Structure 1
Amino acid sequence: MKEFEVNNIIPNHKCSKLSDLDIKIVESVPEGGNWKNIPLNIPSKRLEQIRESFAQGKGSRSTYYGRLKRDMPSYTINTYFNRPGNGCHIHFEQNRVLSQREAARLQSFPDSHIFSGSMTAINNQIGNAVPPILAFQIAENLSKKLGKKGYFIDLFCGAGGLGLGFKLNGWTSGLASDIDKNCVETYKNNLHENVLLGDISDGEFFKKLVTASLLVKERAKKENAPFWILGGPPCQGFSTAGHKRTMDDERNHLFKHYNKLLGLVNPDGFVFENVAGLLSMQKGAVFEQVKKAFKENMKSINAWLLHSEKYGVPQRRKRVFLVGFKEEEQVFYEPPQITSLPTEASNNYSNSVSVGEAISDLPPLKHNEDASHKEYLHPPINAYQKFMRGHISAINYLSEMQG
């Protein structure tokens, strides 16, 4: 049993405070409902904007002020899951938004993964992360292709979702870096201490990063192990949820520094992750530009659009992955699907993990409450809860899901 269970701690099981207006709004939304269920006599400028936008045909905004359905995966967990009006973040049963631990579970972070920083900093870390169990399956697929585990460097490491997935698969994390001090602290507390704090676009820091990367490469070489670089540059500039989707956004050029590092360090391959909005930006021209740039340093590039709910993650989240190899013509297919939505039922796959299955053992709480020291409601009752609480490994969890 994990130490946090023995000590009766559920890290980060905290819920944000709601205004009196938000509480009235939340109470009016039924399970599976959204802003359309909120009475017109509840005064809200935010709701007025949503209704006006909808009337102008600018989208249904179907997830805004959404209450989750217990028997379905969640929608995308974004960095604003503490706000009912910025997505589908209302608990399916309790009149509040998701706690940080609940959001982390829907991202597939085990309960032992402790996030550092303020409430806002932790929300950002959780919302921006790669689901670790999805990353695990990419690592597993890569391990099978290479015939062995390797070393990796984790750029733009964030809270460690991508790196944790690879580590759980048996890969060795030699180095990580991020510009955010809270991300660095979280990564250090959960994966390893060799994390550099700095901006990859800063010349002096970039030199330091190259030097440290080459030391990890040398370690891998001595052990005859593959050496890879992972990283997903900040995605807000590419996201369809952002207000600025042009190449004038400096964040959209961070991949160039990533690519420059590939050229100088010359790894065996790389994994690049980003939002699905990258595919549609400038009608696909930006995505082609990114692939072309990486092709300068990696002879073989494989592109995937992965849906998290198809990989044992209790969340509908689409992400783009580029996987490059130094050698030519390395065809690398995406991990095999293991789950599917109940509405897409197939005899080949188990149903996607639902919100209820993912978080039903966590103790209830009210808005603005810290329930980190409350007890679990009951022992784990399904494979996902067992994995979240450290009772089974990632590979055993996936084995159970595949029957």
Structure 2
Amino acid sequence: MRIIDLFSGAGGLTFGFYYRIKQNKFVRNRKNSFVFANELDPFAAEAFKANFPDIRMINEDIKQLDKDTIEQMIGEEPVDLIIGGPPCQSFSTVGQRVFDEKATLYEEYLRILSIAKPKIFLFENVKGMLSMRETFYKKDKDGNIVYEVKKNKETGSERKYPVVEGYGRKIIDIIKEKFAFITDDLGYNISCEVLNTVDYGVPENRERVFVVGIRKDLDMEWKYPTAIKADKLSVKDAISDLPVVLENQNITNYTSQPQNEYQRLMRGHNNVLTEHYCGVYGGKIRTVIQNVKQGEGKEDFNKLVENGVVDKKYRLTSGYKNTYGRLIEDIPAPTITNNMTAPSGLRCIHYSQNRALTPREGARIQSFPDWFEFRGGVGSVTTQIGNAVPPLMALKLAKQIEKLLKG
């Protein structure tokens, strides 16, 4: 397949088309080649180049990629597939949803579809995209959006929110319609489904929307990959072989052998451990971590305060119900987020050690192999991991698309 990779990030979705698994090892999939990849964030683009050095990476705003440049890169050979998903923050149901410029980046995906005319496209985003609507904001006489300050009932914090005047159509309906009828001569038969990565060999409950389009002149019918019926992998299955990390430690060597097939796959022939470190916590955070058991979080800790088990000065007044939560070792992880290294994040305290996850543990849970490189500071690294399509999920989708094109 000849592939164009848009909004690539560090390359989680790319990974599934670049590699295949043979004898429980990742090996290069020579059947696929990439015309180019595009990513705006410089650290993500740098990580992408480190992991996929033979793919041409265009590190710039997708809006700057003009028709002539794209056609020149494509050349005479047809494009089989476009993959990618625009930034998801606008659609996410965690935090503040804003209908901003990022929420309409699907228009750029559509523009490049109209130029490249691939046989198939694969578009990915968060589940929240299904409920997001066009939003019309109140504006002042100069055309600037008007904001109001609201207090969060749960956290007590105050934030500015744009004043909403009304709502339009659902974004997913707009995308389906526009992608189905791009021009009079070009359109795609659209399939849309929510898949949970835990059903495809990833030790993480992560629901994502996958939109697949088949060009209308092709006699093909898309079917999403079948869910694996085997037992779901747990957090412990994923990371139990990684060394213990204490506060202010950065561990670079393995201290034990892999304990199962998943860990063997993730290690490969890797010898040097990267991104396996922990920062330093204050007294309050240490107290919280030490008193939160598996499956517990903020509310359980505050009950200890109310019952006099923990001093009232440690009471938690910020964060959501599932923040300051400890993972449960024998079930899959909840969705790994960009805040995985902060104990105040969404259930990301290690199941047995008194700390939050390390970036490498987060990457493992996302099914990135240990030799996969990330770039930038901790915030950049965790964003690259948290925003990615898990590689094992991508592999399943790639295999299904290959089967379709063969048939």
User: What does residue 198 of structure 2 align with?
Assistant: 309
**Cα shift readout 1:88-136 (whole Å, capped 9, x = no counterpart):** xxxxxxxxxxxxxxxxxxxxxxxxxxxxxxxxxxxxxxxxxxxxxxxxx
Q: Which of residues 320, 332, 341 in structure 1 aligns to 2:209?
A: 320
The aligned residue for residue 362 of structure 1 is 242
Superposition deviation, residue 368 in structure 1: 3.4
Tell me the residue number matched to 1:291: 176
Unaligned runs of 5+ in 1: 1-149, 339-348, 399-403
Tell me what 1:82 maps to: none
The residue number in structure 2 matching 1:185 is 46
- Are residues 296 and 160 of structure 1, via their aligned partners in 2, closer, same or farther at CA, if it must alter by over 3 Å? same
Can you give the 5+ residue segments of structure 2 that lack an aligned partner in the other structure?
A: 21-28, 134-167, 271-368, 370-391, 397-407
State how far apart, in whole Å, the 2-side matches of 1:320 and 1:201 are.
24
Question: 1:374 and 2:253 equivalent?
Answer: yes
Mapped to 2, the partners of 1:383 and 1:389 lie a distance apart of: 10
Contact 2:5 2:34 in 1 (8 A): yes
Q: CA deviation at 1:229?
A: 0.7
Contact 2:67 2:115 in 1 (8 A): no
Deviation at 1:208, TM superposition (A): 6.2
| Post-superposition offset of 1:295 | 1.1
The Cα offsets for residues 360-383 of structure 1, whole Å up to 9 and x where unpaired, read as: 111111233221x222x3222211
RMSD: 2.6
| Cα distance in 2 between the residues matched to 1:388 and 1:367 | 25
Query: Following TM superposition, by how much is the alpha carbon of 1:266 offset from its aligned partner in structure 2, in angstroms?
Result: 1.0
* 1:229 and 2:87 correspond: no
Higher relative contact order (CA 8 A, sep 6+): 1
| Deviation for aligned residue 1:184 | 1.1
Distance 2:104 2:197 in 1: 26
The CA distance in 1 between the partners of 2:4 and 2:101, in whole Å, is: 23
Which structure dedicates a bigger proportion of its chain to strand? 2
Deviations 1:37-92 (CA, angstroms, capped at 9, x unpaired):
xxxxxxxxxxxxxxxxxxxxxxxxxxxxxxxxxxxxxxxxxxxxxxxxxxxxxxxx
Q: Which has the higher helix share?
A: 1
Distance in 2, matches of 1:164 and 1:245, equals 30
SS for the counterpart of 1:292 is: helix
Shift of 1:284: 7.2
- Which of residues 116, 119, 122 in structure 2 aligns to 1:271? 122
Residue 384 in structure 1 maps to residue 265 in structure 2: no
Residue 34 of structure 1: aligned partner: none
**Can you list the C-alpha shifts for 1:303-356, whole angstroms capped at 9, x where unaligned?**
111001101001110000111111357431111100xxxxxxxxxx21111110
CA contact (8 A) 1:278 1:284 kept: no
Find the residue that maps to 1:236 and give its secondary structure. Answer: coil
> Larger Cα Rg: Structure 1 or Structure 2?
2
- The aligned amino acid for 2:257 is P
Partners of 2:204 and 2:235 lie apart in 1 by 8
Cα distance 1:242–1:300, how it changes in 2: closer, same or farther (>3 A)?
same
Identity %: 35
* C-alpha displacement of 1:299: 2.5
Distance 1:307 1:213, change over 3 A: farther
1:74-85 counterparts in 2 under 5 A? none
Shift of 1:274: 0.3
Partners of 1:309 and 1:360 in 2: CA distance: 18
Name the count of aligned residue pairs.
225
Instruction: Report the equivalent of 1:201.
Output: 63
State the match for 1:211 in structure 2: 71
1:34-113 equivalences under 5 Å are none
1:135-179 deviation per Cα after TM superposition (whole angstroms, max 9, x unaligned): xxxxxxxxxxxxxxx121111110100011111132222310111
Q: Are the aligned partners of 1:314 and 1:352 in contact in 2 as well (CA < 8 Å)?
A: yes
Match status 1:281 vs 2:132: yes
4+ runs deviating over 6 angstroms = 391-395
**Matched-pair contact (CA < 8 Å) for 1:163–1:173:** no
